[in-house]
Amino acid sequence: MVRQIAGGATGQSQMLGRLAPLMMIPGEAWLAIIFPDGEEQWHVLSNDEVKPRGELVELELEDGTNYTMDPETDTLSRIWRQDPRRARLAWSPAKAALPILKEIVRMSQNIEAAGKSRQAGNGILVLPTEISMPAKPAPTGAPDPDAPNLPAPAPLSRFVTADEVRVALQEAMAKAIQDPSSAEALVPIILQVAGEWVDKIRHIKFDSEVSDKAQAAREKAVRRLAMTLDMPPEVLLGLADLNHWSLYGVEEEAVRWHAAPEMETICAALTTQLLRPMVPDADVVIWYDTSDVEAEPDQVEKVRTGFTDGVVRAEAYLRELGMSEEQDGYDLTTREGWTAWVLDQVRKDAALVPVLEPLLRTLVPALGLPELKPAPAAPPTPPPPAPELEQQRVPDTREQLAAAADTAVRICVNHAMKLAGNRRRTRPNHTQLQGIPPRDMHLKQHLGPCQPAEVDRLINGWDEVLDDEICATAGVSRDKLQALVASVCREALTTGTHPIWRSDR
């Protein structure tokens, strides 16, 4: 039944992609299930796309067409985050950040206006009327054959108008822009003016300069917005300074703070408004699974260690390496698989040849192994002299019991300190505590000690991992173990120091 929601996995992905911004910004959306021409369609709509028309409801669909709902077959469900004060109203993280968003808009408008003012014009160039510049020479004809040595006319300079200066500037600049290697781009424009008028040339600008304070204020507003939204600040501010493990922590927090609350709201609405009316007696709910996006990165080393220690199967090791069991693994159900395995073991460690000799002779007779004679046995060593009777005694197990008790206390204290660290972590100190194990957050260099009255609340629930078998193995009663763990945690949390693990305290 759940697989049929929105037509399958593809439709569900599109539905969630449409729901996410609506839940993030206005905080509500409408889910319409309609049957135009007998075909089931799922649509996620905003408030503006749902319009009442008397007793009927008209929907504005994605393709721009309008559809009037049929009360007999169609359904319309509201999905919204309830406002803490008035539950019928919608709430969203963006609404809580409206003052910050308005500030960012104002700052951006100021910066944009300054840029537009520079584009509108480059101000006014004020020139004294006494300025002159070389005039273009008049066209001349061919040299007079009767006076071949007649000198050329001297260049003329005359007072110029502002329009002539503007035209000369525009022509020189246009050619310089068109061809940066031209003479106009290298040679300055020459104006002739008396010395007392040089400082009278003024360039008056009307544009607004963007101050560093305005840009800094906008950056601060963006940081405040990042701290306000239901997501890790690094998602909005950028991930350039993070390594892959820190990035995994950010992604995990994004799922917990951002995706999980929205998915809970969506699943609750689908359960109460769709599933319950269809199967009122079924004790089931629609829920979500984020395991695919919460998988830890780069677990190869962990899996390799587990495989070496014999606690992880070869299939899991191959799967983590991205390999296929059929193509890259050993098929130990066939002779060829055993042959490949034996040869690889010997190739890796030649000292295994005596151990694997029977398999090598049977599976790889082409090797022609010679008979391997066992090494001569060493002469027996004489037994040590019997100790004095008074020195013989039965081993004392009290030290073993004390070690087992210390181990049990350490495991329980670690779990309790982890609970306390997670409960003291908040959104403001999230960045400060990145990469710090929860059991160490109470240390003085991190969060520091807490008040004694808070200890019971912080470690509440640690004894869920405690059972009678653990107590029996440790040789400690359940009450004594609970008291020991509470005492160790109380001392560590209130002093900001590492726990002391001794069980005989």
> What does the pLDDT profile of the chain (505 residues) look like in tens digits?
677 788 777 888 888 888 888 888 888 999 999 998 888 888 999 999 999 988 889 999 988 899 998 888 888 989 888 888 898 998 888 888 888 888 888 888 887 777 666 655 567 777 777 777 665 655 666 666 776 676 666 555 566 677 777 787 788 778 878 888 887 777 777 777 777 778 888 877 766 666 677 788 888 888 888 877 777 777 677 654 554 445 445 566 667 767 777 888 888 888 888 888 877 777 888 887 776 665 555 567 777 777 677 667 777 777 777 777 666 777 767 777 777 777 777 777 777 777 766 766 666 665 555 555 555 555 666 666 655 544 444 444 455 545 666 777 777 888 888 888 888 877 777 777 777 888 888 888 788 888 888 888 888 887 876 777 777 766 778 888 888 888 888 888 898 888 876 544 5
In the chain, where are the structural domains located?
Answer: 2-91, 243-295, 299-364, 397-495
Sheet holding 50-53, edge to edge: 50-53, 56-60, 66-68
**Topology (CATH level 3) of domain 2-91:** SH3 type barrels. (2.30.30)
CA 415, CA 425: separation in Å to the nearest integer? 16
Cα dist from 168 to 127, 163, 184, 256, 259, whole Å: 14, 9, 11, 66, 63
Using the structure block, give the residue that is written with the tokens 């078998």: 469
Say if residues 448 and 424 touch (Cβ distance below 8 Å).
no
Q: How many CA atoms lie within 13 A of 140 on its CB side?
A: 10
Residues 6+ apart with CB under 8 A from 170: none
Please list the helix, strand and coil fractions of the chain in percent, rounded to the nearest 5, in that order: 50, 10, 40
Rg (CA), the chain: 41
Of 348, 144, 117, whose CA–CA distance to 210 is shortest? 117
Name every residue whose Cβ is closer than 8 Å to that of residue 134 and which is 6 or more positions away in sequence: 155, 156, 157, 190, 192
Helix 478-495 / helix 398-424 crossing angle, nearest 10 deg: 50
The C-alpha atoms of residue 382 and residue 405 are separated, in whole angstroms, by: 40
Q: What is the crossing angle of helices 9-24 and 260-270, to 10°?
A: 110
Helix (H, G, I), strand (E, B) or coil at 40: coil
Residues 99 and 24: their CA atoms lie apart, in Å, by 16
Helices (H), 37-194: 93-96, 98-120, 162-178, 183-186
Query: How far apart, in whole angstroms, are the C-alpha atoms of residue 375 and residue 453?
Result: 71
* Cβ–Cβ < 8 Å for 356, 345: yes
- The structure tokens listed for 286 are 């629609």
Report the 3 state secondary structure along 93-104.
Answer: HHHHCHHHHHHH
pLDDT tens digits along 131-155: 776 656 556 666 667 766 766 665 5
